[in-house]
Structure 1
Amino acid sequence: MDRDSELFDLIGDLIMCHSPSGVEARIDAFLLQRLSELGIEAALDAAGNVVARIPGSGAGKLAITAHKDEIGASVSTVGDDGRLRLRALGSSFPWVYGEGIVDILGDNETIQGVLSFGSRHITRASPQYPQQETAPVKWSDVWVETKCSCDDIAKAGVRPGSRVLVARHRKAPYRLGDHIAGYTLDNKASVAVLIELAKRIRNPVSEICLVFSSMEEVGACGALYFTRNEPVDAIIALEIAPLSDEYDIVDGPDPVIYAQDGYGLYHEGLNGRIAAAAARAGVGLQRSVVHDFGSDASIVMRNGHAPRGACLAFPTQNTHGYEIARLAAIGNCVAVLDELCKGDLSQW
């Protein structure tokens, strides 16, 4: 099996682990088992981060994060007719998912329903009529049709706050030549990068903390907790890089580092170290400034929890939707970070 196929399969396994922000136990179990199989010490902290530690022989500590949570929706109200009204979980949009089966994660069991926008054969008398011509579909316009009684919904443990996601059978990724396509490449592909990196790092000079961070999509809660309680010399976030005409990013095998995003500047010196590591690894690197975007690293830096931060990303189409990314670009993130982790952080 070639490396791209192995990476595709790993990302697919991760995508199938539902992990909406704050309800991440399924992927936590997967990660703890996989890291244990690799012989790497890992544990859940109080904020729900899975933290893997690779001790160093010298000074310095580097945190590399990949958030394990995903966007979706949450239940706002349960109607007497069994319909669920929703609100956004993270920066999600209902039109991205379309009408179709969703999984509703109750406290006791997962039930299914249909994300519904209403009928099309209508006149201006129907409230959804503007969606066909002039208005975007918003969460306030849609509902989930469960065809369940209120008693059945209650028995499942579905309530306000229950998470709603695209059903698992709709989430399986698709191979498009040398690309992978599917929901939640942001950020399951980056989680795969951390796992692959964990296989490679051996006897680093500085301590490496691989942080599979929680609740990034709702404010980088996990990364902020980790860096508040455990000082690090630098933090690097693994992320997606949005392919759009407004950014100087191309769909190729070269990863991206950001100079700035919506939360502020990244550290120029750390970006230089990453660029040098990429050159040593024989990997090209793109540079960009993005706007409506933030990462664990930029949010941590903005809050003064780490002196240096950077974001390494892979070019991605349809971000926060049905995403498409080149497998080689994802794999090259592993190569760059592997080379970077060979250095002595105390000399940076």
Structure 2
Amino acid sequence: MMQSSGDCPDSWQRLCQRIESLVLCHSPSGAEDEIDALILSQLRRLRVECRQDAAGNIIASIPGRDRSRNLAITAHKDEIAAIVKRVAPDGRVEVRKLGGAFPWVYGEGVVDLLGDHGLVSGILSFGSRHVSHESPQKCHQEERALKWENVWIETKLSAGQLEAAGVRAGTRMVVGRHRKAPFRMGDYLASYTLDNKASVALLLDLAETLGEPCCNLHLAFTAREEVGAIGAMFFTRSLAIDELIALEICPKSAEYPLASDETPVLVSQDGYGLYDEALNLKLARAAVSAGLSVQHVVLNGFGSDASIVMKNGHVPRAACLGFPTDNTHGYEIAHLGAIEGCRQVLAAYCGNPGA
């Protein structure tokens, strides 16, 4: 990981190290065992009460001064990925998206197949460029967008060898581990899967640094968010939550008036519906008490644990706090100050949510 060329807070360096350890863990939706082991080991090292529920969520619970109220902060631990549709007789592996993954985002390069009996690395392949209109891939050079149906994974293994490794329909594919190490650019961090490994890092930081919160606090590392917030739906059905805050990336785009700087973001509405504006205002006041400001945004092609569970009536009040991110669901870039700022806002709110 590239080091900053200038001075930076020690907390940023610790944050980078924690994010890197999480990013390097493969965690496609529904196959999250690798990151689960890391999260659980860190929570147990911190001596924080934690458990893993039947849906795969990891919940760290910290008793608060007011035992009658429950506040939840979520960060999903799964990453976008692809899923094997078929293994051809010649050993070529065909995959389809799992979450918001696009083949052109990964480009040709190493990907990892999480077989039942071991990891198999292969090359996401688009075919030769030195072709004419007689080859089917020619049109993707000049005319049509590349789709998963047009690409394949070349492993140079036979179908029998892949079967022996447990590569089958349903096997998950993620970007190759050696391509996942974050890249530091001064005050910014760039990486695959900052969505949502950076938020997971912040929840771990909160578990480590928070004292006694104002009310019962549940830090929920949720499963399978990228395929419909399945973990958060189960979690909020199982425990009565008074307020839920999703910690997320926030897409930076020309259609959204956001600065890619150190200022956190509060989302007022997304593709699933409205957030609770009263809760947003309380979070904004918590930011001011921490010496910070926030940006406000309305998003379209976006959803979070918070908006989905509130739309389905599982929680009465929900909010989404995020950090501006370029290239979302790709090679993402975020300002370390904005990531750290989200932690400061949440720490202030957990101390005095009625501010």
Matches within 5 A, 1:41-60: 41-58=49-66, 59-60=68-69
Matches within 5 A, 1:10-25: 10-25=18-33
Matches within 5 A, 1:24-103: 24-58=32-66, 59-103=68-112
Q: Is 1:113 the counterpart of 2:122 in the alignment?
A: yes
Aligned partner of 1:299 in structure 2 is 308
| AA of the residue aligned to 1:212 | F
Aligned partner of 1:264 in structure 2 is 273
Instruction: Give the whole-Å Cα distance in 1 for the aligned partners of 2:227 and 2:52.
Output: 19
Structure 1 residue runs without a partner (length 5+)? none
Aligned partner of 1:4 in structure 2 is 12
How far the C-alpha of 1:297 sits from its partner, in A, is 0.1
* Deviations 1:81-128 (CA, angstroms, capped at 9, x unpaired): 110011001011000000011100001100111100010001111111
Matches within 5 A, 1:160-175: 160-175=169-184
Match of 2:142 among 133, 137, 150: 133
| AA of the residue aligned to 2:185 | L
Q: Is 1:308 the counterpart of 2:312 in the alignment?
A: no
| AA of the residue aligned to 1:49 | N
- Structure 1 segments of 4 or more deviating over 2 A? none
Instruction: Give the whole-Å Cα distance in 2 for the aligned partners of 1:96 and 1:269.
Output: 37
* Deviations 1:69-91 (CA, angstroms, capped at 9, x unpaired): 00011100001111001100101
Instruction: Give the whole-Å Cα distance in 2 for the aligned partners of 1:329 and 1:231.
Output: 30
Q: Is 1:287 the counterpart of 2:296 in the alignment?
A: yes
Look up the SS of the partner of 1:82 in the other structure.
coil
Structure 2 residue runs without a partner (length 5+)? 1-8
Q: Is 1:255 the counterpart of 2:264 in the alignment?
A: yes
| AA of the residue aligned to 1:31 | I
Instruction: Give the whole-Å Cα distance in 1 for the aligned partners of 2:89 and 2:280.
Output: 55
| AA of the residue aligned to 2:62 | I
* Deviations 1:178-221 (CA, angstroms, capped at 9, x unpaired): 11001000000010111111112211120000000000000000
* Deviations 1:24-68 (CA, angstroms, capped at 9, x unpaired): 000000000001111101111000001000011212100100000
Match of 2:331 among 322, 342, 348: 322
| AA of the residue aligned to 1:225 | F
Look up the SS of the partner of 2:208 in the other structure.
helix
Matches within 5 A, 1:166-245: 166-245=175-254
Look up the SS of the partner of 1:80 in the other structure.
coil
Give me the CA root mean square deviation: 1.0
Look up the SS of the partner of 2:205 in the other structure.
helix
| AA of the residue aligned to 1:208 | L
Q: Is 1:274 the counterpart of 2:283 in the alignment?
A: yes
Instruction: Give the whole-Å Cα distance in 1 for the aligned partners of 2:208 and 2:314.
Output: 28
Q: TM-score, with normalisation over the residues of structure 1?
A: 0.98
| AA of the residue aligned to 1:51 | I
**How many residues are paired up?**
346
Match of 2:160 among 151, 155, 178: 151
Look up the SS of the partner of 1:91 in the other structure.
coil
Q: TM-score, with normalisation over the residues of structure 2?
A: 0.96
How far the C-alpha of 1:262 sits from its partner, in A, is 0.3
* Deviations 1:137-185 (CA, angstroms, capped at 9, x unpaired): 1000000011111221111111000001111001001001111001000
Aligned partner of 2:4 in structure 1 is none
| AA of the residue aligned to 1:215 | R
- Identical amino acids, percent of aligned pairs: 54
* Deviations 1:236-258 (CA, angstroms, capped at 9, x unpaired): 00111111110011011010001
Aligned partner of 2:3 in structure 1 is none
Instruction: Give the whole-Å Cα distance in 2 for the aligned partners of 1:229 and 1:100.
Output: 42
| AA of the residue aligned to 2:147 | K
